[in-house]
Amino acid sequence: MHRAVMSTDSLPLLVTWLATWHMPYHASRHLWPHRHNAAILHTPPARFLGPALVYMGCGVLRPLLGLLPVPCGVHLTWSVTLVATSACSLLLEASFLATVTATNLLVRLATWREGHTKAMARCRRFLHRPLQAALLAACAPLVAALLGLGLTLCDSNPSTPTVCDRASDIVVPFGLVLGLALLSSLLLRSHPTTDYYGLRKSLTAKTYVVVTAVTLVLMLHVAADVAAVVLDPRYRVADVVATLLPTYLYYAHVTTHVKLVRCLPRRRSSSSARSQSESLAMFRAFLDTHDGWLAFQSYSYLELRLEELLAWQLCRNFEQAKTHSLFAAQQVYAHCLAPHGALGTATAAAWRAAYDRRLHKVAPLEVAPDAFAPFAHALLHVMYTQVFPRYLLHPFGKSWKWFAVRYVVKGGKRKKKRKVSVETKKHLAAHLLTRSITEESSLQITMVEQIEDSLVSVVSS
């Protein structure tokens, strides 16, 4: 009879624990999608995936802390893990906010003033990895102080589960409220920029929703502690409500940040250098067109990857200019290759040392026109391998398909000696698109000489 009563009392908490198991299934759908989803978000998923999985683990384990007789140290470990993960996720949110602000500034790069330059310098300084590591290290003393407070409460009466829960309730809300206040201040003090494509508006609305919802959950958590004193403690109302906090934080990171993108095929990395050069040449010709440039620029903005495209454009402008002075080359270096430049990228960090020795020494006033050609080729390769595959899956990618058809047909017209029907050309172009431009293949473009041979073989058959 006593066991039946205990099982009946623990039924709400057991149901809550069973309800948390929808989170692993939900995460598996986002990590390993079984079918393609064209709705691609504008956020890189890798940085938010780790905190989301930790929140999932905290949400699944929290009901077990109330069902099983565990020591007080386990409760404190759960609380410290939640606070540390919240600090990391809030820093990632602030980094994402700085990235959005920097991207909005890059859209108006041609009309910059002194205020825009200072705002971009602040964004680049905040996105510097050592500074973010220092901010995380600054949160460690706070977590240690809260942990010491919880251990003091546990040492006073370690056998009472209420004291352990009280210690967890002290550690978690204080850390979360402090992190949310930091995120709100970063949002309100950010530099106002033009809202292209409604990206900043959606980010601001999402941030305010997260702050409001987490605050309400914390208030509900405190109300549950008060209700636990009034109601029968056997029903564990506080444990049920405490599970809502990591569950909501999980959904705030997974549903809004993780996107459904299939992995790139391995055949692409092992393709020959000749086929890669042909594909890059076609991609470069696509960017030289007005429609292709606008479409790829729009998608790069949604992906928050405008730096490579604008840096490549500056290198191309320097190459096509009438004069190639050392001062103009140093300006390109200051924008694209400097440590805190407006167009700083990982590719720029790899090429910075080589160009630093070349441009900041006693050199002639004239620089070779192709001085930035290796750096521009590296930027083009990065855009082609990292941004271009997802661009094909977006509605903006239709412009590439139309360009590919015209590119193939014009190439056949330019060197073909025999007449071929229009239907044959369209059929061959569609065949090349489905086999060479989709993600299942390696996105390799066939040479014009191979296109001629294919056209002749199709006609002869």
253 vs 329, more confident: 329
For residue 124, give every residue at least 6 positions away whose Cβ sits within 8 Å of its Cβ, in sequence order, or none. Answer: 102, 340, 341, 342, 344
pTM of the predicted structure, to 2 decimals: 0.65
Query: What is the DSSP secondary-structure string of 427-441?
Result: HHHHHHIIIIISTTT
Based on the domain organization, do 245 and 335 belong to the same domain?
no
Based on the domain organization, do 294 and 251 belong to the same domain?
no
Name the one residue in this structure whose structure tokens are 């109330």. 66
pLDDT number for residue 229: 57
Cα separation, 156 vs 173, in Å, equals 21
Of 239, 257, 275, the position where a domain reaches its end is 257
pLDDT tens digits for range 167-221: 666 666 666 666 666 666 666 555 455 555 566 666 666 666 666 776 777 677 6
pLDDT number for residue 312: 92
Based on the domain organization, do 427 and 386 belong to the same domain?
yes
Based on the domain organization, do 248 and 271 belong to the same domain?
no
Based on the domain organization, do 231 and 363 belong to the same domain?
no
Token pair in block for residue 150: 């919880």
Mean pLDDT confidence for 94-123: 79
Domain count along the chain: 2
pLDDT number for residue 449: 42
Based on the domain organization, do 76 and 125 belong to the same domain?
yes
Based on the domain organization, do 305 and 231 belong to the same domain?
no
Residue 405 DSSP SS3: helix
pLDDT tens digits for range 65-79: 777 777 777 777 787
Based on the domain organization, do 211 and 325 belong to the same domain?
no
The CATH number that applies at residue 115 is: 1.20.1070
Q: The domain containing residue 343 runs over which residues?
A: 266-460
Which sign does the torsion angle of CA 75, 79, 84, 85 carry? positive
Name the one residue in this structure whose structure tokens are 């940085």. 47
Based on the domain organization, do 147 and 280 belong to the same domain?
no
Asked if residues 90 and 44 have their Cβ atoms less than 8 Å apart, the reply is no
Residue 187 DSSP SS3: helix
Based on the domain organization, do 382 and 446 belong to the same domain?
yes
Based on the domain organization, do 237 and 278 belong to the same domain?
no
DSSP β-bridge partners for residue 325: 366
Based on the domain organization, do 12 and 42 belong to the same domain?
yes
The CATH number that applies at residue 411 is: 1.10.167.10
